[in-house]
Amino acid sequence: MAELLSLEEAIAELVRDGDSVALEGFTHLIPFAAGHEIIRHERRDLTLIRMTPDLIYDQMIGAGCARKLIFSWGGNPGVGSLRRLRDAVEHDWPIPLELEEHSHAGMAARYAAGASNLPFGTLRGYVGTELLERSRDTVAEIACPFTGEAVVAVRALRPDVGIVHAQRADRQGNVQIWGIVGVQKEIVLASSRSLVTVEEVVDELEPRPGAIVLPSWAVGAVAEAPRGAHPSYAHGYYDRDNGFYQRWDEISRERESFQSWIDQNVLSGAGVA
Amino acid sequence: MAELLSLEEAIAELVRDGDSVALEGFTHLIPFAAGHEIIRHERRDLTLIRMTPDLIYDQMIGAGCARKLIFSWGGNPGVGSLRRLRDAVEHDWPIPLELEEHSHAGMAARYAAGASNLPFGTLRGYVGTELLERSRDTVAEIACPFTGEAVVAVRALRPDVGIVHAQRADRQGNVQIWGIVGVQKEIVLASSRSLVTVEEVVDELEPRPGAIVLPSWAVGAVAEAPRGAHPSYAHGYYDRDNGFYQRWDEISRERESFQSWIDQNVLSGAGVA
Amino acid sequence: MTTETEAPVSADEMMTAVAARALTDETVCFVGVGLPSTAANLARLTHAPRTVLVYESGTIGSKPRNLPLSIGDGELAETADAVVPVPEIFAYWLQGGRIDVGFLGAAQIDRLGNLNSTVIGDYERPKVRLPGGGGAPEIAAMAKEVIVMLRQSRRSFVDRLDFRSSVGYGDAPDDRKRLGMPGRGPTVVITDLGVLRPDPESRELVLTQIHPGASVEQVREQTGWPLRVSEELEETEPPSGEELRELRELRATLEAPR
Amino acid sequence: MTTETEAPVSADEMMTAVAARALTDETVCFVGVGLPSTAANLARLTHAPRTVLVYESGTIGSKPRNLPLSIGDGELAETADAVVPVPEIFAYWLQGGRIDVGFLGAAQIDRLGNLNSTVIGDYERPKVRLPGGGGAPEIAAMAKEVIVMLRQSRRSFVDRLDFRSSVGYGDAPDDRKRLGMPGRGPTVVITDLGVLRPDPESRELVLTQIHPGASVEQVREQTGWPLRVSEELEETEPPSGEELRELRELRATLEAPR
């Protein structure tokens, strides 16, 4: 049964220095509040895992939480670069950042393999690209034992901690997610420990079209975090704050402006931007 | 875009002698009407594929449609044996039946691999059982290229024709299924040609909790077949006819009683039992 | 609904009640139809209300009021916390290592708890073609532990299986480890005569419990190998009035028209 | 909403209109944000109303009224025929061979249509770290054909990519076949100056169409290899009044507060 914790308790308990941590949510339901709590807890040497690092990892990388990034597309969607990510890769600021780079299809297959307790996932991909050569530890060509055809194996991802945001949980800790469901289920099931932050805890999860439910006993902890996905969005609760994504380009441009934004909006505990 | 056809036209057009055909539906939404239409069309030498052959394949095997059966559990659920299946395997009546036998997990992985255009699926299974030895053409042990761990590869299933039953389609041929969704999506996507029989064709598919939609352009043909899953059930339309499943044990016990049931209930065109 | 509680306890009822007792609360059970489904639901309705029932049709957390005749009855979906596709139930949930207890039946069992549900006689020319493995091979491998339920006779408790559909302890005590099976294997075998458990060293099934009215001699007679009997053989507590009432009410839902 | 139709046609508008025209009706498009999404929606709102938009966030058949800024905006889910998990969109739909047209952008392209969206400079010590491959490597491999959109300059049309993120025609005309790629590869490359198409034999990109106001000289100057020009070079038809109006209305939804 999932424990109902405060966000602060949950991060303190679940995320340790040196952990591999996946905060997922494909554009939708990105767990910003949880990421900010990790910054406030000053966790270090994390291996951060996310298909699209997005602003949340730009912030965590700039704040010095990450030693390594496992990802597949590291831009600011519709806007441009992730400037803190680039500064870490191009200039080792604030510390060097090791990259493990995949395609979206590969990352999705790695998560699904992790959720399935398989050591690898299989796909047709990577062939002919330099991604294959760059990632020999986690991508390998294998032959079909029946047809001899070459396909690609990608190493399963089993993060130490998986964190997602969802719309709702009930008081028993059952979680309900609707709209774009991304890889939310896979992350919770693939990770050794898991946390779901939710917009609200309700008495009963009313069935909804397109909703999936993660049963309480498959979830580690649930923490209430209203607007916890802002500036991304929570379908049925609030829209994506496209303006903030555009402003981030300016905020994150210089180390100083970034630092002062983090100081005022994250470290002060004043809550999400 | 899916063609809207009559059931008779659809079977005439899609199912040919010698085809591999999967009529799926895991207990729920078993396409009985389509199976009966195949019997009426006197299709022969089919390779029938289904996780649970159930009464529909007992009928098709007894009627002489099948040369081979690919399956994982061949009983009458909650009742006992499939007597026509047994008669074919044990006494070659009406003709010999070749078996390709898997586990449920293996069949599900084979369908998913087919839908994914992969030559094989991967699972932990079969090891230590005689199923592995009996099915060398379709099951093989492979090693993880990263950890060296042994896992099992199962050959993908890509039936010539995939047939499922669903609750509804709209006039464009988009299909809606809810309740136990089984492997309905996988079969439609894994097969070269596909047919979805539906309880009714409606103007609009109103979203429903737990429903999935197969877009028209991913479906070959749609045919209206009210009560087309009887004696299995269609969630929201009618319940499972448990009494018929129990009576089938008697009907199918002798070749004569079976034959006369088929004559009166299928071949006469009088419709489903 | 009124149900008979004064009729004598049948063999099926004894097996079901004993199986239900083997479930502690908050256990996640992967359930097949028949006795296992009855037992898991009985546990849920008596001492283990938070037992989670997972059916291979993809329903997670089903709470049926009526016993299902098939693994995929509509009520299992209606009362479930979640319904997932069949490939997912096997990959993410069973293989993912999230099932505490798997229930299995079989036509034959051997002394190391291996099961046959495939054929009697030769595979190519069987005397009886049985339904086959279904979900059992992977349940036997992946569930954290397995409860086996079958009636005891020389035809079912055999020296040598006609076909090995599912692995108990294989051919030797450490075979599960060698085969890479994460689950512990069969921890209890419940029959109409008694209960057998694997010896902690050799993994050979040992009679540890005997039902009221059965004798050790009778159990030995119905076992196709020289049966070991525990030095601390216990007698099964008969089903209580509450167990019997709930059980008979449950079974009545199976026969009642819906 | 009123929109300007008298302003001169911008480079982005020209590219978008040309890309939209490349889509025939009932095409299933795998779409990324930015110009591709605008082009596919423009096609849907003009000559190809049954174009099916698939976004990598898992939305199938999205019919947005407002242009999405990100690949996963809520409106894409709300207006979709189906929303599926991300592993499924890549496995069953893209890899399953159900995508007719994939749209791709890039920072660099070479003469055989291979793309770089990963780094400028050395991978370990990049001058510019770009976002990376994302969905592109598998879209390039699996979509039945690929439409590439990028602005033409010596920095983008290069003799040698700094990194090969996605395969066009590899290093030789039959490389796609050798690599087991089911799709045909890039069939058209649309720039702000013109349109390039692969030579049927050598697969080298050839200038086949030039936009009004651009010259062959100018295109050659902005290409980092000796550019071949088709003997039947055509001039692009400028966007019609309807195309321009729909396009500007669409783009206005991107900037408008929601």
Give the pLDDT of residue D254.
Answer: 73
Whether the full predicted model's pTM is greater than 0.90, yes or no, is: yes
Q: For the segment B136-190, what is each residue's pLDDT rounded down to a tens digit?
A: 999 999 999 999 999 999 999 999 999 999 999 999 999 999 999 999 999 999 9
Q: What does the alpha-carbon distance between residue B166 and residue B177 come to, in Å, rounded to a whole number?
A: 5
- Would you list which residues of chain B are within 8 Å, Cβ to Cβ, of chain D? 1, 112, 115-118, 174, 185-186, 189, 212-215, 217-218
Peptide bond into A231 cis (omega under 30): yes
| Torsion sign, CA atoms D29, D33, D37, D39 | negative
Residue range C132-136: average pLDDT? 95
In the block, tokens 């929601």 appear at D258
Contact flag B212-D61 (C-beta cutoff 8 Å): no
Joined together, the tokens standing for residue B151 give 């896992």
The residue behind tokens 């216990």 is: C234
Q: Give the pLDDT band (50/70/90) at residue B270.
A: low
Neighbours of chain C (3+ CB pairs under 8 A): A, B
Helix (H) or strand (E) holding A75: strand A75-76
- Determine the Cα–Cα distance for residues D33 and D38; give it in Å rounded to an integer: 8
Residue C224 tokens, joined: 């196709």
pLDDT confidence band for A270 (50 / 70 / 90):
low
Q: Which of B75, D92, A195, B124 is nearest to C94 (CA)?
A: B124
DSSP codes, B55-87: HHHHHHHHTT-EEEEEES--EETTTEE-HHHHH
- Range list of H helices, B118-220: 130-134, 184-190
D114 vs C233: CA distance, rounded Å = 75
Q: What are phi and psi of D195, to 5 degrees?
A: -130, 135
Residues of D designated catalytic = 56
B26–C86: do the CB atoms touch at under 8 Å?
yes
Give the model's pLDDT for residue C5.
58
Q: How far apart are CA A181 and CA A199, in angstroms?
A: 15
Q: Residue A146 is nearest to which of B116, B120, B151, comparing CB atoms?
A: B120
Chain A residues 102-161 with CB within 8 Å of chain B:
116-124, 137-138, 140, 142, 144-147, 149, 151, 153, 155
Q: A28: which strand partners?
A: A233
Q: Does C238 have pLDDT greater than 80? A: yes
Alpha-carbon distance of A226 to A197, in angstroms, equals 9
Chain centroid offset of residue D123 CA:
25
**Contact check, Cβ <8 Å, B115/D82:** no
- D57-63: Cβ within 8 A, 24+ apart: D57/A26, D57/A27, D57/A28, D57/A180, D57/A182, D57/D86, D57/D89, D58/A26, D58/A180, D58/A181, D58/A182, D58/D83, D58/D84, D58/D85, D58/D86, D58/D88, D58/D89, D59/A180, D59/D83, D60/B215, D60/D84, D60/D89, D60/D93, D61/B215
**pLDDT tens digits, one per residue of A142-182:** 999 999 999 999 999 999 999 999 999 999 999 999 999 99
Which residues have a Cβ under 8 Å from the Cβ of D80 and sit 6 or more positions away?
A: D59, D60, D61, D62, D63
What is the total residue count of chain B? Answer: 273
The DSSP string of C108-148 is EE-TT--EE-SEEE-SSSEEEE----TTHHHHHHHSSEEEE
What type of residue is A223?
A
For all residues of chain D together, what is the average pLDDT? 93
Four-residue CA torsion sign, A196, A201, A207, A210: negative
Averaged confidence pLDDT in chain C = 93
Q: Which of B7, B9, B12 is nearest to B31 (CA)?
A: B7
> In sequence order, what are the residues at sequence separation of 6 or more whose Cβ sits closer than 8 angstroms to the Cβ of residue C60?
A215, C52, C54, C80, C81, C82, C83, C84, C89, C93
- Comparing CB atoms, the residue among B116, B174, B217 nearest residue D92 is B116
Helix (H, G, I), strand (E, B) or coil at A243: helix
Query: What's the pLDDT at C37?
Result: 86
Question: How many CB atoms neighbour CB D241 within 10 A?
Answer: 8
Instruction: Say what percent of chain C tops pLDDT 70.
Output: 96
Residue A264's contacts (CB-CB under 8 Å, 6 or more residues apart) are: A270
> Torsions phi, psi of D66, nearest 5?
-110, 145
**Residue D1 pLDDT > 50, yes or no?**
no
Give all chains having 3 or more CB-to-CB distances under 8 Å with chain B.
A, C, D
Residue with tokens 């009004």: D212
Inter-chain CB proximity C135 and B104 less than 8 Å? yes
Residues 6+ apart with CB under 8 A from B79: B245, B246, B248, B249, C69
B217 CB neighbours in chain D (<8 A) are 26, 28, 52, 98
pLDDT of residue C68: 79
Tell me the C-alpha to C-alpha distance, in Å, between residue D197 and each of A194, C188, D167: 49, 69, 16
| The total number of residues written for chain D in this structure | 258
DSSP symbol at D87 = H
* pLDDT per position as a tens digit, A257-266: 999 999 999 9
The model's pLDDT over C5-26, given as tens digits with 9 standing for 90+, comes to 578 899 999 999 999 999 999 9
Which amino acid, A261? W
Distance of CA A256 to the CA centre of its chain: 26
Residue C2 pLDDT level (bands cut at 50, 70, 90)? very low
The beta-carbon neighbor of A215 closest among C61, C95, C97 is C61
Based on its alpha-carbon atoms, the radius of gyration of chain B, rounded to whole angstroms, reads 18
Split at pLDDT 50, 70, 90, the class of C35 is confident
Distance of alpha carbon A4 from alpha carbon A10, whole angstroms: 9
Say if residues C133 and C165 touch (Cβ distance below 8 Å).
Answer: yes
Position C3 pLDDT exceeds 60:
no
Q: Average pLDDT over chain B, rounded to whole?
A: 96
Tell me the percentage of chain A whose pLDDT exceeds 70: 98
Q: Which residues contact C160 (CB under 8 A, 6 or more apart)?
A: C110
Q: What is the DSSP letter of D239?
A: P
Interval D177-195 mean pLDDT: 96
DSSP 8-state class, residue B209: B
Is there a contact between A130 and D118 if contact means CB atoms under 8 Å apart?
Answer: yes
Confidence (pLDDT) at C43:
94
Judged by average pLDDT, the poorest of A62-66, B98-102, D67-71 is D67-71
Q: Give the model's confidence band at D5: pLDDT under 50 very low, under 70 low, under 90 confident, else very high.
A: low
Residues of C in contact with A1 (CB under 8 A): 26
Q: What is the pLDDT of residue D77?
A: 92
Spatial distance between the Cα atoms of D37 and D24, rounded to a whole number of angstroms:
15
Of residues B272 and C215, the one with the higher pLDDT is C215
Q: For residues B215 and D52, what is the distance between their CA atoms, to the nearest angstrom? A: 10
pLDDT at D255 over 70: no
Per residue, the 3-state secondary structure of A212-238, as one string, reads EEECHHHCCEEEECCCCCCCCEECCCE
Q: Count CB-CB contacts under 10 A for residue A96.
A: 11
Instruction: Give the best residue of D79, D90, D92 to mutate against chain B (max B CB count within 10 A).
Output: D92
Interface test with A, best of C27, C81, C93, C99 (most A CBs within 10 A): C81
Looking at residue C258, its pLDDT comes to 41
DSSP C207-251: EEEE-TT--HHHHHHT-SS--EEEEEEEEPPPPPHHHHHHHHHHH
Chains touching D by CB (3 or more pairs below 8 Å): A, B
Per-residue model confidence as pLDDT tens digits over A8-63: 999 999 999 999 999 999 999 999 999 999 999 999 999 999 999 999 999 999 99
pLDDT digits 0-9 by tens, A174-183: 999 999 999 9
d(CA C12, CA C197): 19
- Under the banding of pLDDT at 50, 70 and 90, the label for residue D256 is low
Are B195 and B13 in contact, with CB atoms under 8 Å apart? no
